Amino acid sequence: AQSVTQPDIHITVSEGASLELRCNYSYGATPYLFWYVQSPGQGLQLLLKYFSGDTLVQGIKGFEAEFKRSQSSFNLRKPSVHWSDAAEYFCAVGAPFSGGYNKLIFGAGTRLAVHP
């Protein structure tokens, strides 16, 4: 069964600084990988996804993520953080065509605070 770990519960960065949020997964093959963002009081919005192909994927709002098979990681990055990026970020993993109905497993989330 797949699982996902987000090692950092809280991260604080200064506005304009770079950002990297970590995500590690456990799965026997190449999974589907996702990053979602949740602003306060809102549902989750998809930032980006990886299914196959180029291991560096671009998303919305200037985010990117890199799939590293050797490290079982899918870390989210942004070169310059804006105050509006303060939110909670969730990594999720899905098993492609596993025979079931492809449930997504979510990490516990990383809450990002941005200092002015």
Partner 1 sequence: DVKVTQSSRYLVKRTGEKVFLECVQDMDHENMFWYRQDPGLGLRLIYFSYDVKMKEKGDIPEGYSVSREKKERFSLILESASTNQTSMYLCASRVGLAGGPRTGELFFGEGSRLTVL
Q: Which is nearer to partner 1, 28 or 43 (CB)?
A: 43
Q: Which is nearer to partner 1, 99 or 116 (CB)?
A: 99
58 binds partner 1 per the rule CB under 8 A: no
Element (H, E) at 21: strand 19-21
The window from 14-22, 69-77, 79-87, 101-109 that contacts partner 1 (CB under 8 A) reads: 101-109
101 binds partner 1 per the rule CB under 8 A: yes
DSSP 30: P
What gap in Å lies between CA 110 and CA 31, rounded to an integer?
A: 21
DSSP 96: T
Q: Which is nearer to partner 1, 43 or 116 (CB)?
A: 43
User: Strands, DSSP E only, in 22-97?
Assistant: 24-26, 32-38, 44-50, 56-58, 64-68, 73-78, 87-94
Within 10 Å of residue 114's Cβ, how many Cβ atoms?
Answer: 19
Identify the residue among 17, 84, 96, 113 touching partner 1 (CB under 8 A).
96
| Type of residue numbered 32 | Y
32 binds partner 1 per the rule CB under 8 A: yes
Which residues of the chain form contacts with partner 1 (CB under 8 A)? 6, 9, 32, 34, 36, 41-46, 49, 51, 90, 94, 96-97, 101-104, 106-109
